[in-house]
Amino acid sequence: MVSMQSRVIKSFQIFTRQCRNMHLLKKEAYVDGKWIKANNNAVFSVLNPADESVIADIPDMNDADAINAIEAASKSFKTWKNTTAKERSHILRNWFNLCEKHSGDLAQIITAESGKPLAEAKSEITYGNSFLEWFADTARHINGEIIPSPWPNKQILLTRQPIGVVSVITPWNFPFAMITRKVGALMAAGCTCVIKPAEDTPLSALAAASLAEQAGVPKGVINVVTSSRKNAPSVGKVMCEHEKVGCISFTGSTVVGKILYGMAANGIKRVALELGGNAPFIVFPSADIDHALDQAMLAKFRNNGQACIGANRFLIHQDVYDKFVDGFKAKIRQKCVLGPGIKEGVTCGPLVNTAHVNKVADFVDDAVSKGAKVVVGGKFAKNLGRNFYESTLLVDVKPDMKLYNDEIFGPVAACLKFSNEEEVVKIANSTRSGLAAYVFTKDLGQSFRMSKNLEFGMIAINDGILSAAEPAFGGIKESGIGREGSKHGAEEYTDIKYTLMSGLDK
């Protein structure tokens, strides 16, 4: 009889062959409208995290390649900035339409390189496409101001002008959506860009660039530089410090964000940073517990916990703590189906790589060694492969544990008990992160108090999902600078120019 593991391996071999035959699976970088290799012909392998097979070998570019891409973006900016908002809107709409048409191909690539279940990859494409659609409309609404003048013969004009070349550095957890959210906004504003996708998931970026090319995006407006971890620091340094770069847009860890911020400071460059979180998920006694549990599953286990706004600390009022923990345990056992992303019914795929799954395991082991108790999960699922970790629920979590203070970024829910509103606000705010927070209560006054008192850039009341194209996405404290999505997302890539019109009475 063929074993489960053998069937899984066989299905992945078939899937990988399908991916290799897809026309959107690109094996070259994209610079100045051309599909190219690295200057030195170096390559690195992109692996499928479920079985660690090689999906493709792609260019391992260095700082010289990055400079060439920036020069191409700078040259293109001279003409792209002068296109009309209507023309930019039309091109973005074409890109959106093509991404919609090829959503199935894009989703397969995401699943292959990131490991997330195919249904979830399709949801990411829908989410990512929503930004292209949104910014296609927003392009025509980036407005200036005419301000009443204090002088009778003068007029004050404020206009928004594109900032220039934007260095876009994106993460592996949402490899398509993080590109469309940034690139749609900067293109709407009239900017050009160089994209450096994450080493684990560059194929989604290349596929997106291919569709952008087909949509009529002029050469040099979008450039994609791919590199391995070895070359990432030197490429990143060029992208932050080159004199022709006007802005650095980065989504990723706070540690890396601080490094890039320091590099950008050398040229006093604009930065848009969306960094790590340590999101509290707060449940008060008045909450609808069944609803809170359903939303907890979304807030924690979407993308298997690999989300910056994923719930990290579950702060549950003592009056409903036992009921919530029992319900959470049952939901995890029922809903968290671990396996390869292409297998029907799977809801939680592998973590992105071995180093990451080991980090998650280390967090759990540290907590258990300091007194935390495992309610469910808590170990590797080695029967599936090296990068699979069981969906885990921990109780008796304390402040001296790593996962209390640091972002887990994995399928581990840590529950803590609180007694009153003042206490939970203090616990929730006891972090330098300030991205997202979730609150469950039926008390209207309490909802507004929590929104005011929680030190986070985004607050979701009675909901576990808050991302969309329309609202302003971003954090405070060490979770970032600037906003993405909404009209503010496009305005991040503009400078305000003040023009004084004088002598109007002459």
Identify whether 244 is part of a domain.
yes
Q: Pick from 256, 353, 261: which is nearest to 308 by CA?
A: 256
Using CA atoms, how far apart are residues 132 and 214, in angstroms rounded to an integer? 15
- pLDDT tens-digit series, residues 10-60: 544 545 555 544 679 999 999 999 999 999 999 999 999 999 999 999 999
List the domain range (segments joined by +) for residue 77: 7-275+483-494
- For residue 506, what pLDDT is reported? 77
Q: Does a structural domain hold residue 342?
A: yes
Backbone angles phi, psi at 19, to 5 degrees: -60, -40
CA distance 234 to 238: 6
Q: Which two tokens stand for residue 417?
A: 């008990």
Is 287 found in the same domain as 201?
A: no
Alpha-carbon gap, residue 33 to 217, rounded angstroms: 9
Helix, strand, or coil here: 116?
Answer: coil
Cβ 283 vs Cβ 316: under 8 Å = yes
Strands 373-376 and 392-395: antiparallel
CATH code, domain with 221: 3.40.605.10
pLDDT at site 13 = 52
| CATH number for 434 | 3.40.309.10
**Separation between Cα atoms, residue 20 and residue 203, nearest integer Å:** 11
Same domain membership, residue 449 and residue 418: yes
Same domain, residue pair 384 and 249: no
Residues 256 and 292 reside in one and the same domain: no
Query: Is 399 domain-assigned?
Result: yes
Which stretch of DSSP H or E encloses residue 118?
helix 118-138
> Which pLDDT score is estimated for 22?
62
> Which residues 6+ apart lie within 8 Å of 326 measured at CB?
none
Q: What is the pLDDT of residues 138-189, one digit of tens each?
A: 999 999 999 999 999 999 999 999 999 999 999 999 999 999 999 999 999 9
Specify the pLDDT at position 246. 98
Q: For residue 332, what are its two tokens?
A: 């995890």
- Residue 340 belongs to a domain: yes
Q: Confirm if 254 and 277 have CB atoms less than 8 A apart.
A: no
DSSP annotation string for 81-110: TTS-HHHHHHHHHHHHHHHHHTHHHHHHHH
**304 and 266 together in one domain:** no
pLDDT at residue number 72: 98
User: What pLDDT is attached to residue 4?
Assistant: 43
Number of domains in the chain: 2
Give whole-number Cα distances, 419 to 119, 315, 416, 423, in Å.
39, 10, 10, 7
Q: What is the pLDDT of residue 505?
A: 81
Same domain, 171 and 296: no
- Token pair for 273: 């940073």
**Any domain includes 502:** no
Dig out the tokens for 504 from the structure: 């109007």
Q: How far apart are CA 475 and CA 279, in angstroms?
A: 11
Model pLDDT, residue 23:
78
Alpha-carbon distance of 180 to 489, in angstroms, equals 12
Tokens of 395: 């109780």
CA–CA gap between residue 175 and residue 205 (Å, rounded): 7
How does strand 458-461 pair with strand 436-440?
parallel
Asked if 79 and 185 sit in the same domain, the reply is: yes
409 and 449 inside one domain = yes
Q: For the whole model, what pTM was predicted?
A: 0.94
Work out the burial of residue 262: count CB atoms within 10 Å of its CB; fewer than 13 is exposed, 13-18 middle, 19 or more buried.
Answer: exposed
Cα separation, 424 vs 27, in Å, equals: 50
Nearest Cα residue to 332 out of 394, 416, 385, 409: 394
Residue 474 lies in a domain: no
Both 225 and 161 in one domain: the answer is yes
| Catalytic sites, residue numbers | 274
Q: Which letter does DSSP use for residue 218 in this model? A: P
Is residue 493 within 8 Å of residue 162, measured between CB atoms? yes
Ranges under pLDDT 50 in the chain: 1-4, 7-8, 11-12, 14, 20-21
Q: Do residues 198 and 502 lie in contact, with contact meaning Cβ atoms separated by under 8 Å?
A: no
Residues 125 and 230 occupy one common structural domain: yes
Determine the Cα–Cα distance for residues 467 and 310; give it in Å rounded to an integer.
11
- Burial class, 297, CB count within 10 angstroms (exposed 0-12 / middle 13-18 / buried 19+): buried
Does some domain include residue 476? no
Same domain, 299 and 228: no
Supply the pLDDT for residue 29.
98
| Burial call 24-43: b when 16+ CB within 10 Å, e when fewer | bbbbbbbbbeebebbeeebb
Residue found under tokens 């994609």: 224
**Burial (Cβ within 10 Å: 0-12, 13-18, ≥19) of residue 232:** middle
The runs of H, that is alpha helices, within 139-231 are: 177-189, 203-214
User: At a CB cut-off of 8 Å and minimum separation 6, what does 489 contact?
Assistant: 135, 138, 181, 185, 472, 473, 483
Q: How far is CA 145 from CA 148, 156, 324, in A?
A: 10, 8, 51
Judge whether 345 lies within some domain. yes
Same domain (yes/no): 249, 306: no
What is the three-class DSSP state of 248?
strand
